[in-house]
């Protein structure tokens, strides 16, 4: 059992999805909810156990079917991937809880789909094989297509159609990239690829470069990097808010893949190809931050605004990845966890606010007052302070850390003003949105009071997500140590190769 722990965060959501499709649970909604939440808690506990185990015993490598690397597929549980697996599972708990208040009845199979999505995301974080990464991408994508359609209207169909077509093209490009890389390197195990890249010669170097840059296109599409970010605002704003909250982790899968591919495979040791994507990543990231900031200022409703916040966070993360230093990567890891949880909390809050304001919904205009201004206002305040990056919450720590990490970079002159201006845009837009929604109201509150009050399950989900910001700043010490450890291991080329390829654990 303990030996197979590495596989559990992938296996458990799959079992959960299958169990939830079984006839009895398929019909009875309340038992389905209980089982779904319980199973997502079990997944979280397994992820946590895996995290503690990797802390105690070092990175775990799990050869599926006992086929050792580089021939078989391996799952690699190192500090970074286990942290992200825990994050995903935690988000899973919050979303299943939140949806149990009624959102899951708006369409069919909400709960199984959420578990399948978690299966795909966890798998993508854990896998050490590029083709397996593609497979897990597809698993999470097909679950996300269906979730996007969940409880949707016409607006939804259009956004879903565009999202699906974009991602199908993305998958095809992914396969072409993998084909090129396999043809050149003869392997798709990431550690083995990293070893082979350095010894390439002649034309093969350029082929590998083409393959690597095609991968960049794919990850930029998944991660919503400029100019491939256009699908994101519409998709996230039309998806059901709880689904959008869950999607907060999906852009991070693209970012994480960039982290792996461009620090491990095309990193310091890649000979002619080392850091080949760095310049691209850097300028695209800066452009993404700028576009996201403009989008934030132009947003007319809360969900669009939050979707644009996601774009800014992706831009910031990619800029940090492009630095390729341990300090920048550790700041990126801390920022990644912070931004995922905070944006998820904001999506959920926007939903609750929208429900309590009747027809005005979450448009940023004066309207009927919310029914529970103290609760929602307080939560919004916390989430807003965190996302803006003001002291004392996690956003501030992340911001100071990443500014410090970029201090010695080549283009600090460009990054600092741009990033600080973007933060200013976030500050203006979020505070304007908050004050309009909570203070500028007229007319009576909506009639259907009982229905729209915050349900206990929703409250629990909200507390899980919102409390992350204060907790992340209270436990900033251990967390930042963990992030530094994870980043150090990410950049430790020889150690990574040794761990993954030795295989006999």
Partner 1 sequence: MELLYASCVGLLVSCGVFLILRSRTFPVVLGLTMFSYAVNLFLFSSGRLSLNQAAVLGYSSDYADPLPQAFVLTAIVIGFAMTAFVVILAIRGRADLGNDHVDGQVNDKTKDNNHQKSHHKNKKVKV
Minimum gap (Å) between residue 66 Cβ and partner 1: 17
Per CB under 8 A, 416 contacts partner 1: no
| Region 188-217 residues binding partner 1, contact defined as CB under 8 A | 188
The Cα 71–Cα 52 span in angstroms is 29
Measuring CA to CA, how many Å separate 175 from each of 22, 257, 381?
34, 15, 44
Per CB under 8 A, 407 contacts partner 1: no
Q: Which of 15, 182, 375, 463 binds partner 1 (CB under 8 A)?
A: 182
In the bound state with partner 1, the residue whose beta carbon lies nearer, of 136 and 334, is 136
Q: For the window 123-152, what string marks contact with partner 1 as x by the rule CB under 8 A?
A: --------x---x--x---x--x---x---
Minimum gap (Å) between residue 54 Cβ and partner 1: 29
Residue 301's DSSP bridge partners are 363
Q: For the window 149-168, what string marks contact with partner 1 as x by the rule CB under 8 A?
A: x---xx--xx-xxx-xx--x
Instruction: With beta carbons less than 8 A apart as the criterion, state whether 145 and 112 touch.
Output: no
The distance in angstroms from the start CA to the end CA of the chain is: 14
For residue 35, which of 48, 50, 18 has the smallest C-alpha distance?
Answer: 18
Minimum gap (Å) between residue 145 Cβ and partner 1: 6
Q: Which of 11, 175, 414, 428 binds partner 1 (CB under 8 A)?
A: 175
Minimum gap (Å) between residue 277 Cβ and partner 1: 21
Per CB under 8 A, 218 contacts partner 1: no
In the bound state with partner 1, the residue whose beta carbon lies nearer, of 70 and 434, is 70
For residue 278, which of 423, 409, 125 has the smallest C-alpha distance?
Answer: 409
Q: What are phi and psi of 360, to 5 degrees?
A: -65, -30
Minimum gap (Å) between residue 233 Cβ and partner 1: 15
Minimum gap (Å) between residue 172 Cβ and partner 1: 5
Minimum gap (Å) between residue 300 Cβ and partner 1: 20
Per CB under 8 A, 172 contacts partner 1: yes
The Cα 124–Cα 219 span in angstroms is 12
CA angle 107, 109, 110 (to 5 degrees): 75
In the bound state with partner 1, the residue whose beta carbon lies nearer, of 233 and 367, is 233
Residue 127's DSSP bridge partners are 75
Selected range binding partner 1 among 108-116, 181-189, 311-319, 477-485, rule: CB under 8 A = 181-189
For residue 138, which of 177, 174, 110, 84 has the smallest C-alpha distance?
Answer: 174
Per CB under 8 A, 227 contacts partner 1: no
In the bound state with partner 1, the residue whose beta carbon lies nearer, of 206 and 475, is 206
Minimum gap (Å) between residue 149 Cβ and partner 1: 8
- Residue 292 burial by CB count (10 A; 0-12/13-18/19+): exposed, middle or buried? buried
For residue 11, which of 53, 47, 51 has the smallest C-alpha distance?
Answer: 47
Helix 412-439 with 278-298: angle, nearest 10 deg: 20
Neighbours of 25 (CB within 10 A): 18
In the bound state with partner 1, the residue whose beta carbon lies nearer, of 62 and 134, is 134
The Cα 15–Cα 85 span in angstroms is 17
Per CB under 8 A, 179 contacts partner 1: yes
Query: Considering CB under 8 A, how many residues would be counted as binding partner 1?
Result: 27
Residue 441's DSSP bridge partners are 367
Instruction: With beta carbons less than 8 A apart as the criterion, state whether 303 and 350 touch.
Output: yes
In the bound state with partner 1, the residue whose beta carbon lies nearer, of 60 and 196, is 196
Per CB under 8 A, 171 contacts partner 1: yes
Residues that bind partner 1 (CB under 8 A): 131, 135, 138, 142, 145, 149, 153-154, 157-158, 160-162, 164-165, 168-169, 171-172, 175-176, 178-180, 182-183, 188
């Amino acid at each position: 059992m303990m030996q197979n722990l590495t596989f559990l965060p992938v296996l458990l959501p799959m079992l959960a999805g299958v169990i939830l499709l079984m006839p009895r649970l398929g019909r009875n909604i309340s038992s389905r909810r209980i089982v779904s939440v319980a199973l997502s808690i079990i997944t979280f506990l397994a992820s946590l156990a895996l995290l503690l185990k990797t802390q105690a015993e070092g990175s775990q490598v799990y050869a599926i079917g006992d086929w050792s690397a580089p021939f078989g597929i391996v799952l690699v549980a190192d500090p970074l991937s286990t942290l992200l697996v825990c994050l995903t599972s935690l988000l899973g708990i919050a979303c299943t809880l939140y949806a149990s208040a009624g959102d899951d009845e708006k369409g069919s199979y909400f709960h199984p789909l959420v578990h399948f999505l978690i299966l795909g995301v966890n798998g993508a974080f854990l896998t050490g094989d590029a083709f397996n990464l593609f497979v897990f991408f597809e698993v999470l994508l097909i679950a996300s297509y269906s979730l996007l359609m969940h409880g949707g209207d016409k607006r939804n169909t259009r956004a879903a159609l565009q999202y699906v077509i974009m991602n199908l093209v993305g998958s095809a490009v992914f396969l072409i990239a993998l084909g090129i890389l396999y043809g050149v390197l003869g392997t798709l195990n990431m550690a083995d690829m990293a070893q082979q890249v350095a010894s390439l010669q002649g034309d093969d170097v350029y082929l590998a470069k083409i393959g690597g840059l095609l991968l960049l296109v794919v990850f930029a599409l998944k991660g919503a990097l400029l100019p491939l970010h256009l699908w994101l605002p519409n998709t996230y704003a039309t998806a059901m808010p709880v689904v959008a909250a869950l999607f907060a982790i999906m852009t991070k899968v693209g970012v994480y893949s960039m982290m792996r591919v461009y620090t491990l495979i095309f990193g310091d040791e890649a000979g002619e190809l080392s850091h080949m994507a760095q310049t691209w990543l850097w300028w695209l990231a800066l452009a993404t931050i700028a576009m996201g900031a403009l989008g934030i200022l132009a947003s007319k409703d809360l969900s669009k605004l939050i979707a644009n916040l996601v774009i800014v966070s992706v831009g910031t993360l990619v800029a940090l990845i492009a630095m390729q230093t341990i300090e920048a990567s550790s700041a990126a890891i801390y920022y990644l966890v912070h931004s995922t949880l905070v944006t998820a909390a904001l999506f959920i809050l926007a939903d609750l606010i929208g429900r309590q304001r009747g027809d005005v919904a979450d448009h940023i205009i004066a309207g009927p007052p919310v029914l529970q201004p103290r609760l929602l206002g307080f939560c919004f305040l916390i989430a807003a302070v965190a996302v803006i990056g003001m002291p004392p919450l996690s956003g501030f720590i992340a911001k100071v850390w990443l500014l410090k990490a970029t201090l010695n970079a080549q283009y600090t002159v460009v990054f600092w003003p741009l990033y600080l201006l973007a933060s200013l845009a976030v500050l203006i837009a979020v505070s304007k949105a908050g004050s309009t929604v909570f203070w500028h109201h007229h007319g009576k509150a909506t009639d259907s009071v009982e229905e729209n009050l915050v349900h206990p399950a929703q409250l629990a989900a909200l507390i899980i997500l919102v409390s992350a910001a204060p907790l992340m700043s209270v436990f900033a010490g251990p967390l930042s140590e963990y992030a530094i450890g994870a980043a150090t291991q990410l950049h430790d080329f020889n150690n990574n190769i040794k761990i993954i390829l030795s295989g006999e654990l």
